[in-house]
Structure 1
Amino acid sequence: MDKRNAALTALVVDDSRTMREMVSAMLEAQGIGHVEQAEDGVSAFRAIDGLEKPVDLLFCDLAMPGVDGVETLRGLAARNIEAGVVLLSGVDPKLIKTVADMAEQLGLRVLGSISKPFREDQIAEVVAQYHRIVAPKRGRPALTITAQELEAAIDDNRIEVFYQPKIRVSDSQVAGVEALVRMRHPAYGLIQPSAFIDIAEETSKRITRLTLAVLQKAIAQAGEWRRAGLELGLAVNVSTQSLRRLDLPDMVEDMASKAGVDHTSITMEVTESQVMGTAEILHILSRFRLRNFKLSIDDFGTGHSSLARLRRLPFTELKIDRSFVDGAADDPDLQSILTSSIELGKRLRMTVVAEGVERWADWRLLERLGCDQIQGYIASLPLAAADIPGFVRRWTERAA
């Protein structure tokens, strides 16, 4: 049992006393320190306002008389609660999905939904989700880096790269890593990209400088791993603003040559919403492929690329967005989307990667559907370069 659970406060909102007590008992069995109950939205608001500490986990039924679950969620959003929200219901799964989307757009952190009758393993899973997703972010004020701070970080070599492993499904071996940017701030320490990517993309020059800094560090690191006997594929995100620099393929080729890294082991990732660009972007993508670099269409399913357009683009990898992966094992609609996406990638002779994999049930589904690689917290959080060899060794021993 996770010892962190003892510090958590949960609120169960359901008009059925039996259901409230059942979920409460399951939460207490998980070691949750304090569990409150409310019979409807009004009672929930009263309970939240009366508690000495914020609610960490909120379980909310949808079909309640009077103030129903939808109205309750809107009222919770208006109170700016930071709790992880779990929807309790026996209604149509599509309706649950619609309500979850609404709640997320209102700023609530939805961990998922549980259909009646409830099971203790479902409760345990959403509590684990809370620790993975919500807990690290609670209480942290929003931080936005200024353009001057970002420029200074690039100038002072304070741009750092972390690496998230990608696992090959067929044999459970580590296929490669994705390079993820971080910034080392003199006062705030290590900063996540959400605090500075928007400011970076305000100008083509700034995002290109940042992209080149990441490419330089990541490719050099891949070379170090290779010389140490560790062959890993490397994927790096590239903004289309950077793709307007016509000499970018030449620059990356020079980096790879100096590092001793084969071009075929480097994948340039471009998000789906960005690939419908100009002739110059297609020009640069084509030049990357002519030099045997790989190209990945990232966040597939969230953009608006037509199938005809996708067929003509020189991509070698299709990366399915996490919104279609997480929870797919329990969602027939997501399963249909995954099946179609994987089949499409295979027919277009692409490697198919699923990102955001956090549950073994989803992993097993992706394996059955023929997905090539997975990436997500189920394998590892993003790691510092020094931690990658140890991770590969432990994962390989585990998979043996």
Structure 2
Amino acid sequence: MIDDSESVLMLIRSMLNRLGYEKVSCFSSPQLALKEINYEIARYDVVFTNLGMVDIDGMCVIRELGKMKYRGAVCIISDLENRVTELAAEIAKLQWINLLGSIPKPITLYALERVLKKADTKSDVKLNQIELMPKDELIEHIICGHVVPYYQPKVNFLTKKVESLEVLARIVFPESPYCINPCCFISTAVQYGLIDLLTASIAERTALEIDELSSIFGGEVSVGINLSATQLDDLSIPNRLGALFKAKSVSNSRVTLEITEESSLQSPEQLESLNRLRMQGYGVSLDDFGTGYANFLHLRNLPFTEVKIDRSLITNIHLDHFGQTIVRSLVDFTVQSDCVIVAEGVEKEEELKYLIENYPSMLIQGFLICRPKTLNELAEWYGDWRCDNVLGGYAQSK
């Protein structure tokens, strides 16, 4: 724990002890903290750092942690305005920091407990132990069938149903409790031209599990598979996906392609592929709306059937008037187009309450509802979630 206030350090140590964490090191000097971490970098699982310190602020701490390739988890503590804290969080991600989130001051026991639960997951534990995956290792995992789909539901609180599931790639070792987070291998796949092979592998595994997903959620549930904008440059991708799903007897209407925008959708090939996907009956989703190149012009000119609002606009939306305005404008803009709106990254009950009260038919996706899960874990979660909602609760992830 790094904070230049001794009283804050004493308070947080006491709270962490109450939560069962006994091995807590507190530093009022960021310089000494960084020196200690660098000396034994694998010793610390989580670093909490105050953002607004006098000599060395939290952004400096985060930058130095990135330089030393610290792979534990980091949490920001701040009493500054929300936009300053959110920008610091984005900077942390650019430093390849495994960011758990941020906690506002005054700190509460509940906030500490909630953020530490994020660190106690299989994917986070494995992420802390590895660097970016080498090319040959990724190829071996794909060939050996270690790339498997995890599913994160998009739920409709109006109907109390899961209407769609985003498919997320994980690498799982046989007989191992751990999985490898995509942050560790997606960049490798892109760099070495393996992203199409990875997409095909995860799509095929998903197609094999579609009947079991239907038995859990009903025959109309759809799956969302990620495609990058650059993959659409290949004009053959709609037909290749079509052949794959046809071979597995999966209707194209059950599949939504979630287009991630690391570059603007503008080349003739990209637009042709996108249009052909719609012509062939797929849903197409504009992912991460509100970041990068995603804008209202794409919604007006391109045949999207779904828009996913990035978590940067959802975080603290109950307090953020800017986010509220953008979301309201988006909903008004798409009301005549029969376009599904999904709120991504919902992690707080206050955010969920605001969205349900103002946009009851909006689909909700986020850790508060359900973390990405294997097929076997989904049925148990769904039973618990529906039971919680029948009883009137908002449902926590299990």
CA–CA distance in structure 2, aligned partners of residues 129 and 288 of structure 1: 36
TM-score, normalised by the number of residues in structure 1: 0.79
Distance 1:368 1:145, change over 3 A: farther
Distance 1:179 1:392, change over 3 A: same
Partner of 1:239 in structure 2? 228
Contact preservation (8 Å) 2:138, 2:185 = yes
Contact preservation (8 Å) 1:173, 1:395 = no
1:32 equivalent in alignment to 2:21: yes
Which amino acid is the alignment partner of residue 152 of structure 2?
Answer: Q
1:368 equivalent in alignment to 2:392: no
Partner of 2:394 in structure 1? none
Note the alpha carbon deviations across 1:122-145, whole angstroms, 9 max, x for none.
232333333359952464121414
CA–CA distance in structure 2, aligned partners of residues 158 and 106 of structure 1: 28
Contact preservation (8 Å) 1:219, 1:261 = yes
SS at match of 2:253: helix
Partner of 1:298 in structure 2? 287
Alignment of 1:277-356 (within 5 A): 277-329=266-318, 331-346=320-335, 348-356=337-345
Alignment of 1:205-244 (within 5 A): 206-226=194-214, 230-231=218-219, 232-244=221-233
Alignment of 1:54-133 (within 5 A): 54-132=43-121
Q: Name the larger-Rg structure.
A: 1
SS at match of 1:201: helix
Which amino acid is the alignment partner of residue 30 of structure 1?
Answer: L
Q: Structure 2 stretches of 5 or more lacking a match?
A: 391-398
Which amino acid is the alignment partner of residue 238 of structure 2?
Answer: P
SS at match of 2:117: helix
CA–CA distance in structure 2, aligned partners of residues 385 and 201 of structure 1: 27
Residue among 159, 165, 168 paired with 1:177: 165
Distance 1:128 1:195, change over 3 A: closer
CA–CA distance in structure 2, aligned partners of residues 209 and 356 of structure 1: 28
1:269 equivalent in alignment to 2:264: no
Partner of 1:381 in structure 2? 371
Please say which of residues 275-284 and 294-303 is displaced more in the overlay.
Answer: 275-284
Which amino acid is the alignment partner of residue 85 of structure 2?
Answer: I
Partner of 1:8 in structure 2? none
Which amino acid is the alignment partner of residue 168 of structure 1?
Answer: N
1:395 equivalent in alignment to 2:394: no
What is the RMSD of the two structures over their aligned residues, measured on CA atoms? 3.7
Distance 1:158 1:124, change over 3 A: closer
Contact preservation (8 Å) 2:308, 2:344 = yes
Contact preservation (8 Å) 2:123, 2:179 = no
CA–CA distance in structure 2, aligned partners of residues 281 and 52 of structure 1: 44
Which amino acid is the alignment partner of residue 202 of structure 2?
Answer: V
Q: What is the Cα deviation at residue 294 of structure 1?
A: 0.9
Distance 1:156 1:284, change over 3 A: same
CA–CA distance in structure 2, aligned partners of residues 43 and 250 of structure 1: 58
Q: What is the Cα deviation at residue 359 of structure 1?
A: 2.7
Note the alpha carbon deviations across 1:294-329, whole angstroms, 9 max, x for none.
110112222214433431101000012233334444
CA–CA distance in structure 1, aligned partners of residues 245 and 39 of structure 2: 60
Please say which of residues 298-307 and 82-91 is displaced more in the overlay.
Answer: 82-91
Please say which of residues 121-130 and 172-181 is displaced more in the overlay.
Answer: 121-130
SS at match of 1:123: helix
Q: What is the Cα deviation at residue 267 of structure 1?
A: 0.8
Residue among 163, 172, 195 paired with 2:151: 163
Distance 1:251 1:113, change over 3 A: closer
CA–CA distance in structure 2, aligned partners of residues 50 and 239 of structure 1: 40
Which amino acid is the alignment partner of residue 364 of structure 2?
Answer: I
Q: What is the Cα deviation at residue 254 of structure 1?
A: 4.7
SS at match of 2:21: coil
Q: Structure 1 stretches of 5 or more lacking a match?
A: 1-10
CA–CA distance in structure 1, aligned partners of residues 130 and 82 of structure 2: 34
Contact preservation (8 Å) 1:318, 1:345 = no
Please say which of residues 126-135 and 348-357 is displaced more in the overlay.
Answer: 126-135
Distance 1:190 1:308, change over 3 A: closer
TM-score, normalised by the number of residues in structure 2: 0.80
Q: What is the Cα deviation at residue 282 of structure 1?
A: 1.9
Q: What is the Cα deviation at residue 170 of structure 1?
A: 1.9
Q: What is the Cα deviation at residue 395 of structure 1?
A: 2.8
CA–CA distance in structure 2, aligned partners of residues 154 and 64 of structure 1: 46
Contact preservation (8 Å) 1:272, 1:300 = no
